[in-house]
Homo-oligomer: A and B are copies of this chain.
Amino acid sequence: AAAPIKVEVMPYKVHRIDAPSNIVETNVAELTDFYKLMYKMRRMEIAADMMYKAKFIRGFCHLYDGQEAVLTGIEAAITKQDSIITSYRDHCQHVSRGGSVLSLMAELMGKKEGATRGLGGSMHIYNRAGNFYGGNGIVGAQIPLGAGIALAHKYRGEKNVCITMYGDGAANQGQKYEALNMAGLWNLPVIFVCENNHYGMGTAEWRAAKSPNFYTRGDYIPGIKVDGMDVLAVKNAVAFAKAYSLENGPIVMEMDTYRYHGHSMSDPGSTYRTRDEINAMRTERDPIERVKKLLLSNGVDAGDLKKIEKEVKKEVDEAVEAAKTGTAPPAHWLWKNMYMDPAGAAMRGVLPGQYVVPEFDPTYAK
Q: Which of B185, B210, B220 contacts A185 (CB 8 A)?
A: B210
A43 at interface by CB-CB < 8 Å: no
Chain B residues lying within 8 Å of A217, measured Cβ to Cβ, are 219
Contact B172 A181 (CB under 8 A): yes
A173 at interface by CB-CB < 8 Å: yes
How far apart are the CA atoms of A173 and B180 in the complex, in Å? 11
For A178, the closest partner residue in chain B by CB is B174
How far apart are the CA atoms of A207 and B176 in the complex, in Å? 19
Chain A interface residue count, CB cutoff 8 Å, equals 21
Contact with B along A10-51 (1 / 0, CB 8 A): 000000000000000000000000000000000000000000
Within 8 A of B (CB), among A118-160: none
How far apart are the CA atoms of A184 and B220 in the complex, in Å? 19
A221 at interface by CB-CB < 8 Å: yes
Chain A residues proximal to chain B, CB less than 8 Å: 172-178, 180-181, 184-185, 207-211, 216-217, 219-221
18 A-B residue pairs with Cβ-Cβ distance under 8 Å, sorted by A, are A172-B177, A172-B178, A172-B181, A173-B178, A174-B175, A174-B176, A174-B178, A176-B177, A177-B177, A180-B210, A184-B211, A185-B208, A185-B209, A185-B210, A210-B220, A211-B220, A216-B219, A217-B219
How far apart are the CA atoms of A181 and B171 in the complex, in Å? 11
Chain B residues lying within 8 Å of A210, measured Cβ to Cβ, are 180-181, 184-185, 220-221
How far apart are the CA atoms of A217 and B210 in the complex, in Å? 14
A177 CB to closest chain B CB (Å) equals 4
Chain A's interface: helix, strand, loop or mixed, by majority? helix
Chain B residues lying within 8 Å of A209, measured Cβ to Cβ, are 181, 185
A210 CB to closest chain B CB (Å) equals 3
For A213, the closest partner residue in chain B by CB is B220
| 4 more CB-based (< 8 A) A-B contacts, given A173-B174, A216-B219 | A174-B175, A174-B178, A176-B177, A184-B211
How far apart are the CA atoms of A51 and B216 in the complex, in Å? 50
Chain B residues lying within 8 Å of A176, measured Cβ to Cβ, are 174, 177
How far apart are the CA atoms of A221 and B210 in the complex, in Å? 9
Q: Which of B174, B208, B216, B221 contacts A177 (CB 8 A)?
A: B174
Chain B residues lying within 8 Å of A177, measured Cβ to Cβ, are 172, 174, 176-177
For A218, the closest partner residue in chain B by CB is B219
How far apart are the CA atoms of A5 and B61 in the complex, in Å? 69
Chain B residues lying within 8 Å of A181, measured Cβ to Cβ, are 172, 209-210
How far apart are the CA atoms of A172 and B219 in the complex, in Å? 13
A147 CB to closest chain B CB (Å) equals 13
Chain B residues lying within 8 Å of A220, measured Cβ to Cβ, are 210-211
How far apart are the CA atoms of A269 and B220 in the complex, in Å? 30
Chain B residues lying within 8 Å of A185, measured Cβ to Cβ, are 207-210
Chain B residues lying within 8 Å of A211, measured Cβ to Cβ, are 184, 219-220
